[in-house]
């Protein structure tokens, strides 16, 4: 189907992110053709979607019949829309000899373009190569071995990078992938896990906190947590049930998982903020501001190297060169210099004496909302476009494990129409990036150096 549509090596193909067998088949087919898949969410504002399609020079959008009605608002005239129906898969005729001639896989070929929030006000695409995808899954399987007898639930939207873990883990190691719809995920998820004998669950800590260990069934043996800090009380509750808990860390630019901390059975964490040890093949460096190695116990920026690294930010050579750096380190015994390409995470960390890494916080204003990475600067940029706003600052509020975005605004005049502001923000920002609370102030608090004092907010 894709070959007949003219898809060739190096193309970027958008996939409307529904959790269906057709979506999974579309994703695998795109990569098999040597093209890169780019997940898009039709609930995102049209302006944001059009930017993603234009920025990647996307030529084809795959969607379901139900999503076809949105195509006029989603795409420009240059993007072809291909509707994928269930019968297309059941009646598909594949000429494997032709498929093999079309693409001979190379490690450097792009496999995926995953967009994340951008600090300048526009999202940025992260390019993941086929070689990085393979290296990542081989490394992950050494930390959490899977088999053909495992059953993995696919519950995460394709636009969230954790979905790649669910999908690719099952296909690399021939596990069964069981798709859950959104309605069941919200109501009746425990029963779904029980009925389908799910053995491996990828989940955020905030979602796991809503589930009861006994209600999920005895088949559930492994919980893979990511996207948020894992509270000790939550790990205690689940690990005491005899399940293995894996707390994984890693940004999209390092292909999601960089390090892993294992809480098997009743062994509880000594440090609530430990993110474990690097995966096999992953190079983790804690560097000072001069890009020199920090001693054990001394905080520095966590920089990640290895074959699993993303290739670049799509169409952003300036950002690529600033975030993906060549780090020169002395070899063993102080002999010679070794140059290694690393990604600068912006995470403040330090090595613990036991060889694990402790996460201490961010060095910038990046935050996480429901496990999804958000750049505060992108939200503030959009709010600042309002004519009546002279200054704004967005902060993350935490209350009993619930995260909420709040925006403090300083007005030029006396008028403030919050409903209309939220409506305009909805045209360019996804729902999870729109503040739930707006507070009008006469001035924003500042530090002695004149910077916005976000702690006081």
Residue partners of 357: CB distance under 8 A and separation at least 6: 249, 259, 274, 275, 276, 277, 278, 284, 286, 302, 349, 350, 351
**DSSP character string of 247-286:** EEE--GGGTS-SEEEEE-TT---SSTTEEEEEPTT-EEEE
Q: Residue 7: name the closest of 75, 68, 54, 59 by CA.
A: 59
- Please state the domain extents for the chain: 1-104, 129-310+317-364, 367-441
Residue 13 near residue 158, CB atoms below 8 Å = no
H-helix or E-strand spanning residue 32: helix 21-32
For domain 367-441, give its CATH number from 3.50.50.60, 3.40.718.10, 3.30.300.30, 3.30.530.20.
3.30.300.30
Q: What is the pLDDT of residue 132?
A: 94
Assigned CATH topology for domain 1-104: Rossmann fold (3.40.50)
Token output for 156: 């995460």
Q: What is the pLDDT of residue 267?
A: 47
Q: Rounded to whole angstroms, what are the CA distances from 274 to 205, 260, 347?
A: 15, 9, 13
d(CA 37, CA 23): 11
Q: What is the pLDDT of residue 1?
A: 77
d(CA 394, CA 406): 6
For 129-310+317-364, CATH gives 3.40.50.12780
pTM, rounded to two decimals: 0.79
Q: What is the pLDDT tens value at each position of the chain, 457 positions in all?
A: 777 778 888 899 999 878 888 899 999 989 988 899 999 988 788 888 889 999 999 989 998 877 776 666 555 557 888 888 877 766 666 666 665 656 677 889 999 999 988 766 688 999 999 999 999 988 888 877 789 999 999 998 888 888 988 999 999 889 999 999 988 988 899 999 999 999 999 998 878 888 999 999 999 999 998 877 777 778 878 887 778 888 888 899 998 777 777 765 444 445 557 888 999 889 999 999 888 899 999 999 999 999 999 999 999 999 999 999 988 764 444 445 677 899 999 998 999 998 999 888 878 777 778 777 788 888 988 898 888 898 899 998 887 767 889 999 999 877 889 999 999 999 889 888 999 999 999 888 876 556 678 888 8
CATH topology identical between 1-104 and 367-441 = no
Q: Residue 381, SS3?
A: helix
Q: What is the pLDDT of residue 332?
A: 47
């Amino acid at each position: 189907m894709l070959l007949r549509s003219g898809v060739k090596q190096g193309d970027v193909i958008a996939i409307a992110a529904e959790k269906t067998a057709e979506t999974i088949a579309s994703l695998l087919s795109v990569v098999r053709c040597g093209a890169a898949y780019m997940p898009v969410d039709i609930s995102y504002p049209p302006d944001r979607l059009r930017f993603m399609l234009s920025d990647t020079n996307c030529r084809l959008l795959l969607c379901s019949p139900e999503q076809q009605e949105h195509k006029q608002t989603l795409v420009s005239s240059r993007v072809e829309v291909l509707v994928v129906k269930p019968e297309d898969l059941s009646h598909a005729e594949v000429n494997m000899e032709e498929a093999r001639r079309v693409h001979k896989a190379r490690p450097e070929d792009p496999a995926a373009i995953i967009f994340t929030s951008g600090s300048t006000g526009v999202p940025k695409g992260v390019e993941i190569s086929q070689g990085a995808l393979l290296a990542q899954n081989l490394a992950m399987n050494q930390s959490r071995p899977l088999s053909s007898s495992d059953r993995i639930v696919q519950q995460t939207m394709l636009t969230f990078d954790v979905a790649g873990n669910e999908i690719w883990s099952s296909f690399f190691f021939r596990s069964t992938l069981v798709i859950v719809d959104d309605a069941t995920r919200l109501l009746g998820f425990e029963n779904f896990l029980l009925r389908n004998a799910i053995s491996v669950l990828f989940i955020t800590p905030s979602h796991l906190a809503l589930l009861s260990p006994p209600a999920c069934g005895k088949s559930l043996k492994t919980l893979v947590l990511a996207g948020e800090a894992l509270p000790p009380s939550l790990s205690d509750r689940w690990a005491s049930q005899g399940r293995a808990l894996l707390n994984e860390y890693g940004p999209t630019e390092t292909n999601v998982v960089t390090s892993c901390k294992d809480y098997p059975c009743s062994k509880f964490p000594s440090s609530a903020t430990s993110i474990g040890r690097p995966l096999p093949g992953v190079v983790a460096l804690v560097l000072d501001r001069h890009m020199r190695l920090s001693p054990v116990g001394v905080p520095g920026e966590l920089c990640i190297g290895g074959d699993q690294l993303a290739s670049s930010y799509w169409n952003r050579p300036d950002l690529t060169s600033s975030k993906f750096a060549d780090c020169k380190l002395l070899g063993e015994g102080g002999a010679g210099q070794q140059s290694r390409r690393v990604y600068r995470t912006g995470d403040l960390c330090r090595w613990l004496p036991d060889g694990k890494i402790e996460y201490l916080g961010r060095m910038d204003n990046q935050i996480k909302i429901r496990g999804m990475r958000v750049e505060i600067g992108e939200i503030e940029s959009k709010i600042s476009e309002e004519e009546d706003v002279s200054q704004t600052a967005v902060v993350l509020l935490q209350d009993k494990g619930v995260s909420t975005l709040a925006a403090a605004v300083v007005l030029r005049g006396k008028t403030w129409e919050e409903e209309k502001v939220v409506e305009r923000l909805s045209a360019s920002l996804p729902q999870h990036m729109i503040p739930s609370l707006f507070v009008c102030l006469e001035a924003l608090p500042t530090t002695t150096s004149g910077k916005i004092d976000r702690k006081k907010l």
